[in-house]
């Protein structure tokens, strides 16, 4: 029983691998160099949903390959990069973009650094005022 459990746990990463081939444009550039340049520029601004801190251009994850293929296919079909970006944001949410728009759902994201600076400044001022008394 213990041997079966060890073999099952050891085989789980192998079973997690997809047996499907990668999408057509996941790792192959577009024939048109100008379109490929647009696709590459866009891919460097989109976050891999699996890796979290890599762009889809840099990630080797299967999901990133699928997203690269989507970007390339849509740009090859004549869509503007910004339209592709909006479509991906609608599909996956603001988190997919390294440049999320300023709005009610992202105010904390954009305001947190300023809030931390303000809190730090207040703490420093209070610290030095207490030292003078």
Question: pLDDT tier at 108 (50, 70, 90 boundaries)?
Answer: confident
What percentage of the chain exceeds 70 in pLDDT? 83
CATH of 22-101, one of 1.20.120.80, 3.90.1150.10, 2.40.30.20, 1.10.8.640: 1.10.8.640
Is the pLDDT score of 76 beyond 90?
yes
Handedness of CA 13, 19, 90, 57 (dihedral sign): positive
For the segment 104-123, the average pLDDT, to the nearest whole number, is 86
pLDDT digits (tens, 9 = 90+) for 26-74: 788 889 999 999 999 999 999 998 887 899 999 888 888 999 999 999 9
Is the pLDDT score of 14 beyond 60?
no
- 27, 35 contact by CB (below 8 A): no
- Nearest to 46, CA basis, from 85, 83, 74: 85
Residue-range domain boundaries for the chain? 22-101, 102-133
Is the pLDDT score of 24 beyond 60?
yes
Element (H, E) at 57: none
């Amino acid at each position: 029983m213990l041997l079966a459990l060890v073999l099952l746990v050891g085989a789980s990463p192998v079973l997690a691998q997809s047996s499907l081939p990668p999408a057509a444009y996941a790792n192959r550039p577009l024939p048109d160099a100008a379109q490929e340049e647009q696709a590459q520029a866009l891919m460097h601004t989109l976050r891999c949903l699996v890796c979290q801190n890599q762009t889809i251009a840099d990630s080797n994850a299967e999901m990133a390959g699928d997203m690269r293929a989507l970007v390339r296919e849509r740009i090859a079909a004549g869509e503007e990069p910004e339209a592709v970006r909006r479509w991906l944001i609608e599909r996956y949410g603001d988190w997919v973009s390294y440049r999320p728009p300023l709005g009610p759902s992202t105010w904390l994201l954009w305001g947190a650094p300023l809030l931390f600076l303000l809190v730090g400044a207040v703490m420093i001022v209070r610290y030095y005022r207490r030292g003078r008394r």
